[in-house]
């Protein structure tokens, strides 16, 4: 099995530079991850590279929902509603630990986006198109019932509500589990490796020069086919081409803010109208709730879109108008800004541009995928890999397997896990309790790691047997075990990788990051066996990450 350990980086680099691949995927967000898994499962020899951490772009900055596609109904995108509805079911089946159905409340207010009639009609059409299963059909509430479902709603103007199902996910972890599954099946994957130049043979792209962003070294990687899956960076990468095309993307920015539930004590996820006729979410998560999203055209740094004072005051105003609360910017604990890579359509407002994906082929043969959603990643990958296979089989006689990712259980999905998740939960809960973990901690681990939780338990057991005495002995055992697992099994290179994309703590548990960040940096430096200066770099980078989310 290929390694996905940060410690094995030199060995992985030797492997990716030492032979020719069928496919080089540039970009390790959910789009590139899905393509790598699909192509590997069909029998192609694949390498996947990202210039930052995996999911370091939009794929860790979404609303974290596997949508059924309700909002596309407003844009009359019936085909898209049908596709994402079916995809939601597939993702749930293949990664039950990372996708959980949850009731979403759609309040109906006077002069809102929906009245009772249009909301019910919309729901029926949506549930029919998306193939929503009967036990998850919507429920209609009167004003009193709506207020009981979410007591924080302001009562005036409320005429009723609808409860329907959305599926929650952890976008970054979903991306990682797809990559882990791809690596298990043969993909070579590496982060912090930036494509800086293309290599050509007879005017056709046959590889790329990759720069190691950790030390500046350059490497050449050769492949029969190259895919540009760089999300918001699609045009930037395309610009490296000798004959680059016109720009394909329109970038819009979306911001989410995290508030402590003591200040915003919502019981229930709510999808509600804004004063400027948009709709946004408030979603409770543990002791926090997050609000989002904005949707504004964006030009600026793609790596650090940033949260502006205007973004904050817009979202706070939306919530203060709709709920009995009086939030101020001092109540914001954390947040994130993400960029939507939308396919360019002139003359449309940010919220009107379609979320559909499109595949392009450049003059030199590079396959480019633009647009799309987290939810539709698998189908997007299927379309791209069909093109890759077509290209390769036009050039040499070879047979590849058909697409099987609808039945490919992702890492952490585990066969028994997928078959009976509640039984699996019970088993892992009782084992976690014997290791001295608290119920809430175990629940979080089950949803974060799925069937891979056993590997965490084994690390924890080894600590319980060993005699304490190292410098970082004060780090809670659970945090330490997760750091070790992230480095050895999930190619975690820096504390920000760990606190943002491996665990989401920077967003939803910033107190722990502030309390243990320095110790975590020291532990990571020791495990990675690097020079002393690394700890200073880690500390500075983590400090910057903490500042950025405020």
494 binds ligand FAD (CB under 6 A): no
Asked if residue 384 binds ligand FAD (CB under 6 A), the reply is no
Q: Are 104 and 63 in contact (CB under 8 A)?
A: no
Query: Cα 108 to chain center, whole Å?
Result: 30
**492 close to 502: Cβ distance less than 8 angstroms:** yes
Distance, CA of 494 to CA of 485 (rounded, Å): 13
Site map (CB under 6 A) of ligand FAD, residues 249-288, x = contact: -----x----------------------------------
Long-range contacts of 455-462 (CB under 8 A, 24+ apart): 455/485, 455/489, 456/481, 456/482, 456/485, 457/431, 457/432, 459/484, 459/485, 460/435, 461/435
Least distance in Å: CB of 175 to ligand FAD? 7
**Nearest distance, CB of residue 371 and ligand FAD, angstroms:** 7
The pattern of x and - marking residues 285 through 314 that bind ligand FAD according to CB under 6 A reads: --------x---------------------
Non-local CB neighbours of 547 within 8 Å, separated by 6+ positions: none
Among residues 23, 42, 56, 173, which is the contact residue for ligand FAD, using CB under 6 A? 56
- Which CB sits closer to ligand FAD, 375 or 405? 375
C-alpha pair distances (Å), 20 with each of 23, 207, 222 = 9, 9, 5
Quick check: helix, strand or coil at residue 223? strand
Q: Taking contact as CB under 6 A, which single stretch among the options 1-9, 38-46, 103-111, 371-379 is the one that binds ligand FAD?
A: 371-379
Assess 231 for contact with ligand FAD (CB under 6 A). yes
Rounded CA gap, 224 and 392, in Å?
7
- In whole angstroms, what is the distance from residue 485 CA to residue 351 CA? 40
Span near ligand FAD by CB under 6 A; candidates 50-58, 73-81, 473-481, 502-510: 50-58
Least distance CB 351 / ligand FAD (angstroms): 12
C-alpha distances in Å from residue 89, one per residue of 32, 58, 118, 448: 21, 23, 26, 19
H or E stretch covering 100: strand 100-109
Beta-bridge mates of residue 100: 168
Site string for ligand FAD, 156-195 (x = CB under 6 A): --------------------------------------xx
Report in angstroms how near the CB of residue 465 gets to ligand FAD at its nearest.
39
Residue positions counted in the chain: 550
Q: Does 65 bind ligand FAD (CB under 6 A)?
A: yes
According to CB under 6 A, which one of 312, 340, 501, 535 is a site residue for ligand FAD?
340
Considering the rule CB under 6 A, would residue 233 count as an interface residue with ligand FAD? Answer: yes
Report the alpha-carbon distance of residue 498 to residue 503 in Å, rounded: 6
9 or 373: CB nearest ligand FAD: 373
User: Using the rule CB under 6 A, is 211 a contact of ligand FAD?
Assistant: no
Cα 308 versus chain centre, distance: 22
- 124: part of which helix (H) or strand (E)? helix 116-130
Q: Which two tokens stand for residue 169?
A: 């996910």
Stretch near ligand FAD under the rule CB under 6 A, chosen from 43-51, 132-140, 461-469, 489-497: 43-51
Between 347 and 366, how does the x/- string for binding to ligand FAD read (CB under 6 A)? --------------------
Q: What is the DSSP string of 170-199?
A: -HHHHHHHHHHHHHHTT-EEESSEEEEEEE
Give the binding-site size for ligand FAD (rule: CB under 6 A). Answer: 39
Q: Is 385 in the site for ligand FAD (CB under 6 A)?
A: no
232 binds ligand FAD (CB under 6 A): yes
343: its two tokens:
């396919």
CB of 165 to ligand FAD, least distance (A): 14
User: Does residue 58 touch ligand FAD according to CB under 6 A?
Assistant: yes
Among 374, 410, 446, 481, binds ligand FAD (CB under 6 A): 374
**Cα pseudo-dihedral 454, 460, 462, 463, rounded to 10:** 180
Residue 170 C-beta: closest distance to ligand FAD, Å: 11
Binder of ligand FAD out of 47, 49, 226, 456 (CB under 6 A):
49
- Closest separation between CB of residue 194 and ligand FAD, Å? 4
Least Å distance, CB 524 to ligand FAD, is 21
The residue among 16 and 442 lying less far from ligand FAD, judged by its C-beta, is: 16
**How does DSSP classify residue 263?**
T
CB burial of residue 427 (10 Å; 0-12, 13-18, 19+): middle
As measured in angstroms, the least distance from the Cβ of 149 to ligand FAD is 22
Our finding on whether 338 is near ligand FAD (CB under 6 A) is yes
261: tokens are 């539930």
Which residue, among 104, 233, 98, 85, has the nearest Cα to 171 in the 3D structure?
98
Counting runs of H as helices and runs of E as strands, what totals does the chain give? 19, 18
Among positions 67, 138, 168, 501, the unique one binding ligand FAD when judged by CB under 6 A: 67
Which residues, numbered 12-41, are part of the site for ligand FAD (CB under 6 A)? 26-32
Task: Name the burial class of residue 255, with classes exposed (0-12), middle (13-18) and buried (19+) by CB atoms within 10 angstroms of its CB.
Answer: buried
What residues line the site for ligand FAD (CB under 6 A)? 26-32, 49-52, 56-59, 61-65, 67, 194-195, 229-233, 237, 254, 293, 338-341, 372-375
């Amino acid at each position: 099995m290929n390694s996905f350990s940060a410690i094995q980086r030199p060995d992985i680099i030797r492997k990716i530079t030492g032979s020719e691949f069928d496919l080089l995927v540039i970009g390790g967000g959910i789009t590139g991850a899905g393509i790598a898994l699909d192509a590997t499962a069909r029998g192609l020899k694949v390498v996947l590279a990202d210039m930052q951490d995996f999911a370091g772009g939009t794929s860790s900055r979404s609303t974290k929902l596997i949508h059924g596609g309700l909002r596309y109904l407003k844009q009359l995108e019936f085909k898209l509603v049908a596709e994402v509805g079916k995809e939601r079911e597939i993702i749930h089946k293949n990664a039950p630990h990372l996708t959980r159905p949850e009731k979403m409340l759609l309040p109906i207010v006077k002069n809102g986006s929906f009245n009772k009639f249009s909301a019910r009609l919309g729901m029926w059409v949506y549930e029919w198109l998306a193939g929503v299963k009967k036990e998850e059909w919507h429920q209609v509430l009167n004003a009193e019932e709506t207020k009981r479902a979410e007591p924080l709603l302001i009562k005036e103007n409320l005429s009723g509500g609808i409860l329907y199902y959305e599926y929650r996910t952890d976008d970054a972890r979903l991306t990682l589990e797809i990559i882990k599954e791809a690596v298990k099946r043969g993909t070579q994957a590496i982060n912090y490796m930036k494509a800086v130049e293309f290599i050509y043979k007879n005017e056709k792209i046959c590889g790329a020069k990759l720069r190691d962003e950790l030390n500046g070294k350059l490497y050449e990687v050769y492949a029969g086919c190259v895919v540009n899956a760089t999300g918001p960076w699609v045009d930037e990468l395309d610009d490296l081409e000798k004959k680059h095309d016109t720009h394909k993307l329109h970038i819009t920015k979306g911001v989410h803010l995290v508030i402590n539930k003591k200040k915003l004590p919502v019981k229930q996820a709510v999808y509600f109208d804004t004063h400027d006729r948009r709709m946004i979410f408030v979603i409770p998560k543990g002791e926090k709730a997050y609000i989002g999203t904005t949707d504004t055209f964006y030009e600026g740094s793609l790596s650090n879109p940033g949260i502006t004072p205007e973004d904050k005051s817009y979202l706070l105003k939306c919530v203060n108008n709709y709920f009995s609360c009086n939030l101020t910017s001092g109540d914001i604990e954390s947040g994130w800004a993400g960029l939507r890579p939308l396919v360019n359509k002139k003359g449309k407002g940010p919220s009107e541009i379609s979320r559909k994906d499109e595949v392009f082929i450049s003059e030199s043969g590079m396959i480019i995928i633009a647009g799309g959603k987290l939810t539709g990643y698998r189908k997007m990958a299927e379309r791209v890999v069909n093109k890759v296979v077509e290209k390769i089989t036009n050039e040499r006689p070879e047979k590849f397997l058909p697409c099987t990712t609808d039945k490919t259980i992702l890492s952490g999905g585990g066969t028994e896990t997928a078959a009976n998740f509640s039984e699996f939960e019970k088993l892992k809960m009782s084992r976690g309790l014997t290791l001295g973990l608290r119920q809430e901690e175990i629940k979080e681990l089950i949803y974060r790691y799925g069937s891979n939780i056993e590997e965490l338990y084994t690390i924890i057991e080894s600590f319980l047997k060993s005699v304490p005495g190292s410098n970082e002995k004060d780090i809670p055992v659970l945090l330490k075990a997760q750091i070790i697992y992230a480095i050895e099994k999930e190619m975690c290179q820096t504390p920000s990788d760990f606190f943002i994309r491996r665990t989401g703590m920077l967003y939803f548990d910033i107190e722990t990051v502030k309390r243990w960040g320095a110790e975590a940096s020291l532990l990571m430096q020791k495990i990675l066996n690097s020079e002393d200066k690394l700890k200073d770099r880690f500390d500075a980078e983590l400090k910057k990450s903490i500042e950025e989310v405020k």
